[in-house]
Amino acid sequence: MFCPVCGKKNPDNARFCAACGRAFSHGSTTSVKPKASLVGFTKVLPFVGVAVVVVAAVLVISNLIGGRGSAQEIADELTASSQRVFDEGFSDDSVREYAAVFVDAMPPEGLEMLIEEGLVDSREGAIELVGESLLNSLSGQDSVFNKVDIEMKIVVGDEVDADYLDRVNEQFESHGKSIRATEGYILGGEVTITALEDVGVLDAGQTTTQSMGNTGYTAIKIGNEWYVWMTAVNW
């Protein structure tokens, strides 16, 4: 699909033009609400008067199938892969990939715990829930995304303390899981927003950067591998 404004070629199901931000119309759509709610899937951040939704779950839009060798390796891959989602205008394919990889980036026991808690009934159900949560978090934000360019950077923050690891391991134990987290780091983010036109108090061309010291997600080490963990879910 080519943008009628700037002519850039975009994925057929893109919601925005990756070059100029023009919103695409795909006919009438019905808003789909999540079957369950996982607290902490999204963050709404004010950027100098400009309401921009930043999806904290973007932290896991990458090719993280299973664990990684370090927390920094996770952050580096997430930085590159999260940017692709914004660049592709949140196409259906990118949302699906995001959701599938989110589920697969957790420890396998994490998915088992979601099923045991009744939040989902299968891996496919978890993928559907994550995708729906993302789309719902973006609902009504077209006018903002059309006017700004967003760049994401995922950073490794402070090391979690022993109390945090104890709480995570207690969650594992309460569900009969034999795994243990031995190390962990808070995952933070930096979001840089450049106005493509006058929006809020930003003039066209102006840039502002906002830091998220704690996104609600951590990188935890289990065995010799690292995984993404959701700190806000009430297991």
Q: Is 82 exposed, middle or buried (0-12, 13-18, 19+ CB in 10 A)?
A: buried
Which pLDDT does position 171 carry in this prediction? Answer: 92
Which pLDDT does position 138 carry in this prediction? Answer: 66
Domain boundaries of the chain, sorted by first residue: 43-230
Q: Which of 157, 235, 232 is nearest to 190 (CA)?
A: 157
pLDDT digits (tens, 9 = 90+) for 152-210: 888 999 999 999 999 999 999 999 999 999 999 998 988 898 999 998 788 999 999 98
Task: For residue 208, give both structure tokens.
Answer: 């502002």
CB count in 10 Å sphere of residue 143: 10
Which pLDDT does position 175 carry in this prediction? Answer: 93
- Amino acid making up residue 109: E
Q: How far, in Å, are 15, 59, 92, 102, 105 from residue 99 at the CA level?
A: 17, 11, 11, 5, 10
Alpha-carbon dihedral 123, 53, 215, 85, rounded to 10 degrees: 50
DSSP 8-state secondary structure symbol assigned to residue 68 = B
Full pLDDT tens readout for the chain, 235 residues: 666 655 567 777 776 665 555 556 554 333 333 333 333 333 333 333 333 344 343 444 444 456 788 999 878 777 777 777 777 877 878 777 777 777 777 899 988 998 998 988 999 998 888 778 777 776 776 677 788 898 888 899 999 999 999 999 999 999 999 999 999 999 898 889 899 999 878 899 999 998 888 877 899 999 999 998 876 665 5
Which pLDDT does position 15 carry in this prediction? Answer: 64
